[in-house]
Amino acid sequence: MSCGTPCGARCASRCGTDVARAAAFANRAQLNAVDYVEVSDDQLTLFVYFMGAVPAVAGGTSDGLRTANVRITGGDAVTGIAATGLYVLAAGDGAAPGDDSGADPAGTALAVTVDRRGDFSTYTLSLGVPAPDGGWGALPGFNPSFSAACFSFKAACPTGIDCVPACDTPAGAPPDTSIDYLAKDYESFRTLLLDRLATTLPAWRERHAADVGIALVEAMAYAADELSYYQDAVATEAYLRTARRRISVRRHVRLVDYYLHEGLNARAWLTVWTDRDTPPVDAADAYFITGFPDLAAAPGTVLTDDALAQLPAGGYSVFEPADATATGLVFRAAHSEIALDTGGGQECALPRGATHATLVDKALWRQANPESPPPAHWGAPIPGQPLQLAAGDVLIFEEVRGPATGDPADADPRHRQAVRLTAVTPPADDGWLVDVAWAAADALTFALCLSTRTPAPDCTPVEGISVARGNAVLVDHGRTVADPPWDPVPTLLVTGGCSCDGAAVEETRIAAVITPTLARGPLTHSDTVVPGPAANVLVRDPRRALPAVELSFTDPATGAPTLWEPRRTLLDSGPLDRVFVAEIDDGGRACLRFGDGALGQQPAAGLVGTARYRVGNGAAGNVGRDSIAFLVLRNASWSGASVRPRNPLAAAGGTEPEPVAEARLLAPDEFRRRRLRAITAEDYAELAGTQPGLQRAAAQLAWTGSWYEARVGVDPWGSEQPTAQLLADTRAGLAPCRRMGHDLAVAAADYVPVDVELSVCVLPHHVRGDVRARLLRVLGSGDAGNGAPGFFHPDRLTFGGGLYASALVAAAQSVPGVESVVVTRLQRQGKAANHELETGVLAVGPLEIVRLDNSPDFPDHGKLTLTLGGGL
C-alpha cells in the first residue's frame, strides 16, 4: 500500500490548473506528459503515472527508458538519490518488489527503484536525456514543460508536522530572471527586450528594422514607454508639491479648503442714449459690443446678430446684461440726459458724501412753460414723455463740462458715479422737480459741480456742468455660444464572475462615465449680482464665481430635458443632485465632471447632452470708458431709432485665472488665514469687522462673576450710531463662532466727548478770522475743505486710539498762517483733568472712541476752544 495520498494527486488539488492545461496540451499536441508520482510503503519504489501510454523500458539491446533518463532532485537532509532500476507495472500485475500488501496500483505506471529513502522535504522526478556537457534535454515524445512531477517520500507519515510542502517548479535549468529596473524609456526598454531574446532565442540574430521580430520588439518598447510615463505621471500628480496638471492641483488644494479660482469676467455700467422710446426687449435677446475699425456702421445704429456674424469675432468684445432673466427692457428718451436743479444758484454743487439730488423733468417743464425757450444747456430735442423713475433704478452722474471754463473738453472723467435710487418723490402739481435719494453706500465720492462762473473778467454764469443719465444697464463680459448635441451617454456591460459550472453569469448594464469638453473658450466665470447699492456690484470675489454654463440632458424616447446646475465642488452634493463642475485644463479647455452617484448624480445611459455657455473671461474685458458703442439684437430689428450705448465708467473686475504656482504656495496655509472660531477678544473683533457696513470693531472679555462675556463694540461707516439691523446682523454672524461658555453682547461704541483748547499764534499779514475758519474745518468732524476728512471725523477715529497732543499740534500747524500752537486743555468733557497735558495723551478704553463735534446743537458731544493772537 502506498504511503498516503500520492503527490500527483496532491499537486492536482493544489496545482489543478497546471495539470488540466498539461493534459489538454498533451492530447492536442499528441505529446506525452507526467501525471503524478506515488511512493511505496517501504519508500524504495516510485510509481510514475502518465497522461498517455507508459514508455517502454530498455532491455538488452532494445531501445527505451534507462535509469540514466530518470533524475531525482531536491531534498534537504537526504540528497543525491539515484534510480537503480526500471520496469513497467501493468494493470493486474502483482505487487512491486518490497510491497507485501498485495495491493495493485490503479492504472499503468512506470516503477522506479531508488537506492535509499528520502527525507520529509519535496523531491522532483524528471524524465529527460542527459547531454554530454552535463545539461538535461527533453525526452522525445514528451512535452518539455510537463516531463517532471513533485512528490514526497513522507507524504502521510504521522510526524506531527506538516510534511506536505507546496509544489515546486519542475526541474530544469532555471530561467534568467535578471531585470534592469532602471529601464524607463523607449531605448532602454528596446535594449532590455533584445537582451532577453538573445538568451531565450539565441538562434535569432536579426536586427534589421524591417524584420517582423524587430517591429514587435519596438512596438512593445513603445507600449512599455507609454506605460512607464503613465506610472510616473500618476505618481507625480498624486502630491501637491509635484503635481503639474492644473486639474490635479485644483483637486489637491480643494482638500485643504482652498479654491483655485479660474478668473472672473469684467462688469460695467452702461447708459443708453436714444431719441425716442424703444420697443420692449428681453435681456436674453440683446447684447452690446465695443467699436472696432471693421465695423462701418454709424453711431446709433442698432445691429442684428445675423449682420454681425459676417464680421471677425476677434475684433470686438461682447458684453451681455448681467441679469439675463430681465424682460421688457425699455430705453426712454427722457432718461437719456436728465438735468440737475441748481435752485437758481450760480455756483452750486452736490457735496462729497451727498445722498440726494433734485432732477428737472424737461417734459413737465415744457408743459408748464410752453412759450418759454428751454435753457441752452439742455440741448434738443425736449423729450415728449416725462421721467418714469422708480426706487431701484440706477442713475449715473457725470460731469460734462469743465467747472473752470464751461468747456466740454475740460470735463473731468473721474467725476462719474453710479447710484441706485432708494426713493423717488414725484413733482407737485404743475411742478417739474423730482427729488431722488440713494443709500449711504452710494454716497458721492467727489463734489459734483452743477453750475459755476467763468474766470474774471467775464464771470459768465455756466449751467449744466453735470447731468444725470438713466437707462442704466449692468453688463458683464462674455458671449453666449452653443455646442452641437453630444453623443448619447454610452452603456457599459458589466459581467459577473463565474460561481460554478452551469450557473448563470450575471450581467449588468450601467452608464459609462463621461467627461465632455466644451469646444470653445475661455469659459466665462461670473458671480451673482448682489442686490442693493450700485457700489456693491463691483465688490467681487473670483473664488465665488461659477462657470456660465447652461447644461441639459434629453431622453430621446420622451424628449423631456432635465437641467443640470454648475457647482464649485461636488463634495457638498447629494446622490440625486443634478450638478457638475467645470475644470479648466492647462490648455484653457473646460472639462465637465459629473457625480459618481454618491456625491452628485451621474447622467443615465442614452441621454443626449446639450451645452449653452459663454466665452470671454479675465482681464480682456476690462475695457476703458466710452468703449462700448453698439447695441445688437438677436431676434429683432429696430429702424428709425438712434440708440447709442456707452459706458461712462471703465469696465472693472476682470481677473485672470489663478496661477498654479500661486495656489501651490498659498493653499497649505489657507486654514490658518481663515478664522473660524473666536477664542480671544482679538478674535471677536476680527470676525465682527468682516460684517458689511462696519468700519471696524473692538472686543473685550469681561468677567461677570460666573463666566466671561464677550463685549463687542461696532463703529459703522459715516455715523456714530449703528442701526438696529446692523447690530443684529453682527450678533448673528458672531454667534456660530463664539466660544462655548462665553456670553455675547454687541453694542455701539462708547464715544468719549473731549474738551480741547488750543492757543494759536497767527503769522503777520494773515487775518485771524480766516485762520480761525480754516482751523475749525481742519479740526472739525466734517470735511476738511481739501476733500479729506477733518481731524475728528467719525471715520478717522478708532477704538482705543487715544488723543495725542502732538497730533493736534501737527494738524493745526498745517493750516496756512499758523506760526505756533500750544495745547492748553486736553481732558474728557465734564470730567476733571487726569494729567493728560503732562503725559501728552488722553487715553481711552478698548471699546471707547474719542468724539468732538463742536456743535452748538449738541454741546455735550465735545468742545473745541481756539484762542488766537497775532495776525491782522
- Give the pLDDT of residue 319: 95
Average pLDDT over residues 342-358: 88
302 contact partners, CB below 8 Å, separation of at least 6: 630, 631, 632, 633, 637, 638, 641, 643
Are the C-beta atoms of residues 337 and 397 closer than 8 Å to each other?
A: no
790 contact partners, CB below 8 Å, separation of at least 6: 777, 778, 779, 780, 781, 782, 783, 784, 796
21 confidence band (pLDDT: 50, 70, 90): low
- Give the pLDDT of residue 438: 94
Q: Per the domain annotation, does 723 fall within a domain?
A: yes
Residue 488 has pLDDT above 60, yes or no: yes
23 confidence band (pLDDT: 50, 70, 90): low
Local structure of 621: helix, strand or coil? helix
Rounded percentage of the chain residues whose pLDDT exceeds 90? 39
Task: Based on the fold, state whether residues 770 and 816 are members of the same structural domain.
Answer: yes
Q: Which of 168-177, 208-217, 664-673, 730-739 has the highest mean pLDDT?
A: 208-217
Q: Per the domain annotation, does 368 fall within a domain?
A: yes
Task: Based on the fold, state whether residues 585 and 629 are members of the same structural domain.
Answer: no
Domain CATH for 709: 3.30.70.1350
Average pLDDT over residues 7-19: 42
Number of structural domains found in the chain = 7
Q: Per the domain annotation, does 170 fall within a domain?
A: no
Average pLDDT over residues 780-794: 81
Is the backbone peptide bond immediately before 381 cis, with ω within 30 degrees of 0?
yes
Among the residue ranges 161-175, 395-409, 594-608, 773-787, the one predicted with the least confidence is 161-175
* Spatial distance between the Cα atoms of 318 and 316, rounded to a whole number of angstroms: 7
311 confidence band (pLDDT: 50, 70, 90): confident
Residue 51 has pLDDT above 60, yes or no: yes
Residue 475 has pLDDT above 70, yes or no: yes
Average pLDDT over residues 416-425: 94
CA distances from 776 to 170, 710, 772, 779 (A): 109, 38, 6, 5
Which has the higher per-residue pLDDT, 12 or 469? 469
Amino acid (one-letter) located at 338: I
- Give the pLDDT of residue 690: 81
Cell numbers 480682456 correspond to 620
Residue 100 has pLDDT above 50, yes or no: no
Residues in the chain: 872
Helices (H), 201-300: 212-237, 246-254
Average pLDDT, the chain: 85
Cell numbers 452722474 correspond to 397
> What is the per-residue pLDDT across 793-832, written as a single tens digit (0 to 9) for each?
877 877 877 889 999 999 999 889 999 999 999 999 888 8
- Give the pLDDT of residue 11: 39
Residue 177 has pLDDT above 60, yes or no: no
Q: Are strands 608-615 and 479-482 parallel, antiparallel or unpaired?
A: antiparallel
Which candidate, 63, 69, 97, places its Cα nearest to that of 82? 69
Cell numbers 531525482 correspond to 72
**Count of CB atoms situated within 10 Å of the CB of 620:** 15
Average pLDDT over residues 739-752: 85
Cell numbers 467645470 correspond to 582
Task: Based on the fold, state whether residues 22 and 90 are members of the same structural domain.
Answer: yes
Task: Based on the fold, state whether residues 40 and 110 are members of the same structural domain.
Answer: yes
The last residue of one of the domains, among 722, 748, 774, is 748
Task: Based on the fold, state whether residues 141 and 195 are members of the same structural domain.
Answer: no
The last residue of one of the domains, among 130, 151, 172, is 151
Average pLDDT over residues 321-325: 89
Which candidate, 450, 436, 438, 398, places its Cα nearest to that of 535? 438
Q: Per the domain annotation, does 242 fall within a domain?
A: no
Q: Are strands 302-304 and 628-633 parallel, antiparallel or unpaired?
A: parallel
Q: Per the domain annotation, does 733 fall within a domain?
A: yes
Task: Based on the fold, state whether residues 395 and 514 are members of the same structural domain.
Answer: no
18 confidence band (pLDDT: 50, 70, 90): low
Residue 626 has pLDDT above 70, yes or no: yes
Cell numbers 446709433 correspond to 300
Average pLDDT over residues 740-745: 87
Q: Per the domain annotation, does 656 fall within a domain?
A: no
List of long-range contacts for 141-144, beta carbons under 8 Å, 24+ apart = 141/31, 141/32, 141/55, 142/31, 142/32, 142/33, 142/34, 143/22, 143/25, 143/26, 143/29, 143/31, 143/32, 143/33
500 confidence band (pLDDT: 50, 70, 90): low
Domain CATH for 26: 2.60.40.1220
Cell of 830: 465734564
- Give the pLDDT of residue 3: 40
Residue 169 has pLDDT above 70, yes or no: no
> What is the per-residue pLDDT across 244-301, written as a single tens digit (0 to 9) for each?
999 999 999 998 889 999 999 999 999 999 988 899 999 999 999 998 877 767 778 8
DSSP state string for 303-329: EEHHHHTTS-GGGS-EEEES-TT---B
Task: List, in sequence order, every beta strand (DSSP E) within 682-782.
Answer: 694-703, 708-716, 743-748, 750-762
Are the C-beta atoms of residues 112 and 84 closer than 8 Å to each other?
A: no
* Spatial distance between the Cα atoms of 259 and 569, rounded to a whole number of angstroms: 9
Average pLDDT over residues 45-72: 86
Task: Based on the fold, state whether residues 421 and 453 are members of the same structural domain.
Answer: yes
Task: Based on the fold, state whether residues 226 and 321 are members of the same structural domain.
Answer: no
Task: Based on the fold, state whether residues 733 and 601 are members of the same structural domain.
Answer: no
* Spatial distance between the Cα atoms of 814 and 29, rounded to a whole number of angstroms: 111
Cell numbers 458589466 correspond to 494
Are the C-beta atoms of residues 32 and 52 closer than 8 Å to each other?
A: yes
Provide the residue range defining the domain that includes 598.
480-494+507-615
Among the residue ranges 112-121, 362-371, 656-665, the one predicted with the least confidence is 362-371
CA dihedral 382, 385, 389, 393 (to 10 degrees): -80
Are the C-beta atoms of residues 4 and 155 closer than 8 Å to each other?
A: yes
Burial 664-694, CB ≥16 within 10 A → b, else e: beebeeeeeeeeeebeebebbbebbbebebb
Residue 413 has pLDDT above 90, yes or no: yes
Cell of 18: 497546471
Task: Based on the fold, state whether residues 304 and 379 are members of the same structural domain.
Answer: no
Which candidate, 196, 237, 200, places its Cα nearest to that of 217? 196
Q: Per the domain annotation, does 181 fall within a domain?
A: no
Task: Based on the fold, state whether residues 122 and 35 are members of the same structural domain.
Answer: yes
Task: Based on the fold, state whether residues 586 and 641 are members of the same structural domain.
Answer: no
Q: Per the domain annotation, does 216 fall within a domain?
A: yes
